[in-house]
Amino acid sequence: MKEIKISPEFKTQTTKAVLSIILFVLTYLLMLALAIVLTVSCVYGGIMLMAFRPMFITIALGIGLASLGILVLFFLLKFIFKSHRVDLSHLIEIKKSDEPKLFDMIDEIVKDVGTNFPKKVYLSTDVNAAVFYDSSFWSMFFPIKKNLQIGLGLVNTVTQSELKAILSHEFGHFSQKTMKVGSYVYNVNQVIFNLLFENESYDNIMQKWARASGYFSIFVVIAIKIIEGIKLILRQMYGLVNKSYLALSREMEFHADEIAANVTGYEPLKYGLLRLSLADHSFRSVLSFYDGKIIENKKSENIYKDHLFVMNFLAKDNNIEIKNNLPKISEIELNRFNKSRLVIKDQWASHPSTEDRIAMLENTGLSNTNLNNEPANQLFLDIEKTQLDLTHKIFKDVIYSEECSVLTFEMFQSNFKEDFLKNTFSKIYNGYYDNKNPLFFDIYKIGPTTKDIEFENLFSESKVDEVYTALSLQNDIESIKQISDKTFDIKTFDYDGVKYSKKDCNELLSKLEKDLESLNEKIKTNDIEIFKYFISQEEKAYLNSSLENLYTNFFNYDKEFDVKYDVYIRLSNELHFVNYTTPFEQIRANFINVETLEESLKKGIFEILKSQDYHTEITKEMKSNFELYLSKKWQYFENEKYINNNLEMLFSAMNNYAFLLSRGYFLIKQKLLNYQAELIETTHNN
């Protein structure tokens, strides 16, 4: 493969990353020197104190004083002994004798890219691929061989050329000398992260030392104060180094993409990237489906057959072309509902956007028409056995109440389709209601229609486009507000091709809010036209005026929803303290505040249990938990300890309450939309 020219932006970000590392090293060395001086002084002072008057108190104070410096120095050096080992329990190692075709492909990639063969190759369950290694402080100075991880979910949803392109990208990260800067920055980041956040063992040592003697605890408190000061400096350094690393990381992604394009042409990686989001969403949908089957003691026969079915099923449902038994997703389909005109350079993103990566890939002009579009699964000697092994790995730690049985592929297809239809709206709406609700209007002030309304116009592409433009505009407004109040630390941004700064935010917000108000009025007008149209269809079918009642019920639920859901939000906020160390008196005071909110929660739960609308949605476990929770007033803190069982019951009741409220919202909306769809069917058949 030809040597790929490093871009000016890559060189710039490499320089910034190196400078941030140098600044960190100088800062660290200064802190280390001061810590050594402190340690020597403390040890010397401790020895002198013990020598001055040898007795229990002076010996204890002398040892405590000496430990002060040692604790601070050890804090600054502890990362040297830390090894960041990757958890391999979810992986299956494979060798060339197991999968010769796959290893032949990896051999080709290694030669084409000009890098080393991985130390080991593993299969994971996921929809991804990665190169990883066990890292430590010393890995910055000594070469470490990398391991390759290939997700079977990825293999399941790409062609052989696409898999080759994706693996070429992964090896591309380590193919040229300039890429070692990224590895170096990564390891320094790990050092800072260890000092800031990986302190559990160190904190335990501090606590044990403090408990050994009241005299020692005095110096532990002083050490903690000094370490807090060190951490304050380190946080500033972490932000600086991390931003530099992430900016370099984005350039490394572009660089690795170009390496992959040199190996396979840009097309395989492009189509693989476009499909990746759907493939990952489909896999998570299958996992979510089986989460719901735990109560029925059911698991998958082969989760990867289920996965492929769901991906193609969702693609067909969205009118996406299926080619080579895989969805062929275009950039238009990827961004169909993204109408945002706001462009913010995300300094905390480790990867560029898919759109930016595809644009850069196409700019290489490295096209290749000689592609292998056979499924990547065919690279495996016995793919079904491998799929079954990984399926077993996914389900082996799931706890079932009874002996678990397998759900056949045929039953999965049937159940998944049934669940999907229960949770979607009719296709006649063209996605108009997928992310919006009917906007409120007074149905009794709407006069009879005086013109013919064409159904096709109500849910046309232009009307759907207005809905998603409004949603994107609302999101843009919220983002610009966060820039204005400095929640986002961003100096400039682009909107609709024009560059703005923080001081321009208020003027831009005023304009955008007027645009949104105008657009929402247009959408509301269309919603009223929809209502008029279906009222006329109801009259044509000589049916009772059910539509008015359905709209009234929906608007009433919509009005009450925020108030009822706010109980869950406020309770969650009030109970946040249980996740942190809190003084006992404060805990007791906090639970007094919780009691008042619990009255509202119990009232809401009682109404849900009484209502017929939720009966099909409340499981036996939910009902049992609700009834237990409502049975009496519960205590959550006693004898200076949390009563965990009672807290778990409270959180379950809260979460089930929130779920059912949201589910009820969906169902009442679905009931309205289904009735309208039935009207169309009735009037068309007559």
Distance CA 385, CA 378 (A): 13
**Whole-number Å distance between alpha carbons of 484 and 493:** 11
pLDDT, position 242: 79
Question: Do residues 311 and 157 make contact, with C-beta atoms less than 8 angstroms apart?
Answer: yes
C-alpha count within 13 angstroms, C-beta hemisphere, residue 671: 18
Averaged over successive runs of 10 residues, the pLDDT of the chain (686 residues) comes to 74 85 90 95 93 88 93 89 70 96 96 90 95 63 78 97 96 68 71 83 88 89 93 87 82 91 96 95 96 93 97 93 93 75 65 89 91 96 97 94 93 96 92 94 80 89 95 93 82 85 91 96 96 91 87 95 95 91 87 92 95 89 95 92 94 96 95 94 74
Please give the pLDDT value at position 5. Answer: 75
Q: How far apart are CA 470 and CA 473, in angstroms?
A: 5
pLDDT of residue 228: 93
Q: How many CB atoms lie within 10 A of CB 50?
A: 18
> Which pLDDT belongs to residue 429?
95
pLDDT of residue 589: 92
202-236 pLDDT, tens per residue? 888 888 898 888 889 999 999 999 999 999 998 88
Supply the pLDDT for residue 192.
83
- pTM of the entire structure? 0.81
- Other Cβ atoms less than 10 A from the Cβ of 518: the count is 10
Contacts made by residues 318-327, CB under 8 angstroms, sequence distance 24+: 324/159, 324/373, 324/374, 324/375, 325/375, 326/157, 326/158, 326/159, 326/275, 326/375, 327/275, 327/278
* Number of DSSP helices (H) and strands (E) in the chain, helices first: 21, 15
Mapped onto helix, strand or coil, the DSSP state of residue 213 is: coil
The amino acid at 139: S
Is the Cβ–Cβ distance between 347 and 243 less than 8 Å?
yes
Q: Which tens digit of pLDDT belongs to each residue from 170-187?
A: 998 876 555 566 667 777
